[in-house]
Structure 1
Amino acid sequence: MDGRWRLTAVLLANALLRIANAAGGALVGFYLAWLAVHGRAVDAALLGALGVVANGFELVAAVPFGALTDRLSPRFLLVGAALLGGVATQLFGMTGLVLVFFFSRALEGVAAAAVGPALLAHLADATHADVAARGRVMSYFELTVLAGLALGTLVAGMGWAAVQTLAFSVVAVVYVLAGGLFYWGTAVSFSHTPPHVPGLFEGIKQAISRSILRRLAVPWLAANAVAGLWFTHIVFQLTGPRISGQYLVGRFTAREVGWLSLAYAVLFGAGVVIWGVVLAHISRVRAMRIAFLGMWGTNLCFYLLNRSEGWSWVVRGGVLVVYAVAIMVQSGITPAALAYLVDVAGYGAERGVAMGIYSFLLGLGTVLGAGFGGVLARDLWLDGLLLGSVVLAVLGYWATGLLPQTNVVRGEFSSGEV
């Protein structure tokens, strides 16, 4: 029972960390906008550059921190990352110097990079005796990420409206709370570190040489590219200029988009919880394939809704019901993929490096999806995003067919090369 409470504390700490990270990013935008209004030489280009710095440092540092996961305890890395994130956030609100802005965002990127591999390694060790429960734990992990996306901007907006720059200190305190929960939650050691820990480049070589990890990279990239595509462009599409022939483009206010985003997050979260139960009974590969089929369904429903001008609300409501179900089905991709990754890489000599590589691919997929979506949406608008999403969903579904099936009870592979 104590182990379950500690695992819950770790997942709660990750939720707080994600909320703090998202809130910190939003506060950067609020603060720069405030400085611009008060005559400081800041603009959207600076905001974009700071975003590139944060994401760039996170991408570059992901694999090295993965290697450190095999050498240092997850407790050290997780607590250190939380405290570093708090320091970075506090620094940003203490000055108007551009150089400090860049330094702060770089630190925040490094802190974010340290969390993923260490946390996945800890969750792998914590569920080693109950592989069937691993899918449920990975679903809860995905739920904490979703909580950060859903609540971070809300927390930042309320904090800035109430106390302005002191909101950075509030977010820093949230980071410290997360660090405290990480410290307590990881106090019990589940260490399964192999006797021989490879160096960084040797570990990368070993991870890449495993065909199963290379195959998993394709659906993982596809799923995260879809996320990057939609998260980057959907607000502009729904609130921008109206386009003839596309019913949803430019139809909504910012407030309405906020409520739609909340509804989507609730449906997605409900789906993740359901998948946490389902993953204990079916293979990870079958779950991923079913979830990618759900993505096909969401794209079809969205396309129909985008062509629904003149439809009755009864017909449109029927499509919305199917769309809601498809969202919950689609939500299983990430928890199933993470459970599969932990099954495959959880105990290998290159475990940390493999998880670092997949943290890197997560960020890379998001960046590629954002760029891919921009090219398609420039001329095709919302239809372009749907086209890109369909292509990536087909690619992901096809790539999962190349993966060997896993035994959900013992975490072993029934066929194929590992």
Structure 2
Amino acid sequence: MLQVPFIRQNKELVLARLALKNFKETGLVDEVLALDDQRKKLTLEYDETQAQVNSLSKEIGKLMAQGKKDEGEQQRAEVNALKEKLGPINDALNATEKNLHDTLVKLPNLPAAIVPPGKTPEENVEVRGGGTIPELYAAAVPHWDLAKKYDLIDFELGNKITGSGFPVFKNRGARLQRALVQYFLDYNTGNGYTEYAPPYLVNETSAYGTGQLPDKEGQMYHATEDNFFLIPTAEVPLTNIYRDEILKDSDLPIKMTGYTPCFRREAGSYGKDVRGLNRVHQFDKVELVQLVHPDKSYEVLDEMVAHVEGLLNALELPYRILRLCGGDMSFASAITYDFEVYSAAQQRWLEVSSVSNFETFQTNRMKIRFKENNGKPQLTHSLNGSSLALPRILASLLENNQAADGIHLPAVLHPYFGSDKIS
């Protein structure tokens, strides 16, 4: 959530950055400032009226002590009249503060200065890439055919049990899922991240804290009886672990990782782009979250990008890293790098990770602060990244490593999977 003082002091910058993010409702900026003006006016009126009440109340006691009963009663009547004014002023102040908050949360985070202009994914900027795109043997097929051939994934069974987009992993497909999760967690904890196993459902406050609400209600599964939301990513419960806490400077950075299933409705998705594992409603993912000193967040962002890049190199997958343009970024992000791997049988790039810096956007909502040298509490910066989302990683591993005698797995997975190939 943006902060009103920053908007007031940097209105033109805010409008320019919102335009870079292709945000259309820029009139909300003036609404925020007008509501803040009204809030200040009502606060001053309330404080001045309360001060009059306090001052006159002290005078009543003096007048009574001096035997000036009539004057004292007159003062008391004035005090009662002023007290009656306080209620409506306070009600108006509360309503204005709520309206201000509700308007403020409609504004997305501002993109960082290095975010490129653009409105569509085609305008994202490739930063670098790695790996080698394989040349497949003549009988190569997409991963959904490989899944059937080697009895790894049953898409039809998932459709029977739940619906489209809920695949059932079985046999060596389930084992490969487990192997990937364990490898990712070991890689992350070996690099200083603390592992968590968080809840898969969160309350409304938690979803609001990370920016899923009020922006993405339609994309989340909602358990209405209890008003819980199935998590779209482990980012939500992990970041909320420190909600409403004041940390010490020495506590930073806080590095968290966790494996969870993720649930996304993906409303409106259809066509060839959603076939097989390309887009599903339930999938496994290992997540990274960091809470850091504001001065260090862009250095940490580079470290997290390198961390995910190391995973893809270890998996021997061809990849590219994209810096997202303003119009393709999420509501809460200040800057995002997407990782895509090449799916050789489909001959297309598939997104497998996003690494983002949210600066103070999330921590302001969650009031995650720290004290530096016992000074005034200030907001930390929050960052997160996928390391990694499994469906498209699995799709690319199957497709890129297929051969006539089976699917050859990268060496780093051999001890986790218990074999060097699927045949």
Tell me if TM exceeds 0.5: no
More helix by share: 1
Shorter-normalised TM range? under 0.3
More strand by share: 2
Bigger radius of gyration among the two: 2
Q: Relative contact order: is structure 1 or structure 2 higher (C-alpha 8 Å, sep ≥ 6)?
A: 1
TM-score, normalising length: structure 1:
0.24
TM-score, normalising length: structure 2:
0.24
